[in-house]
Amino acid sequence: MHDSAGSVFLADCPARLAVDIITNKWAVVVLFALSRRPRRHGELVDLVGGISRKVLTQTLRRLQSYGLIERRAYAEAPPRVEYSLTDLGQTLTGPIAALTDWATTYGAAVADFQEAAEEGQQDAPTSDS
């Protein structure tokens, strides 16, 4: 992304892969949830508010296919499966922390702007009027 202005537009640019990973609605949240310790599927469902079991499973598989998380099944009765960050996945904890800090600092300003924009749209005359 920083070697030339146009490289981020190339289909095989590593920056596009990174953007693809972090722009998934649930990926960053799941990675953040795993940043402290390994977790079971049910723990993640409870921890990540609003995610369905199906979407969590899809997200975990996707992150596993990128080499960012590891799925470990234990030979126990009943079976136990835990998910954890790989070494590669651990490298995203810094950028995710930076995004979290930004959201904490500026999230209210974004929400205020959106609210003001919505109010402005309601007050503005439509082109049909």
> Quick check: 7 pLDDT over 90?
no
b/e burial code for range 102-115 (CB count within 10 A of at least 16 → b): eeeeeeeeeeeeee
> Quick check: 108 pLDDT over 70?
yes
Per-residue pLDDT reduced to its tens digit, 27-39:
999 999 999 999 9
User: Using 50, 70 and 90 to split pLDDT, how confident is the model at 79?
Assistant: confident
Q: What is the pTM of this model?
A: 0.76
Q: Are 51 and 26 in contact (CB under 8 A)?
A: yes
Lowest mean pLDDT segment, chosen from 54-63, 80-89, 94-103: 94-103
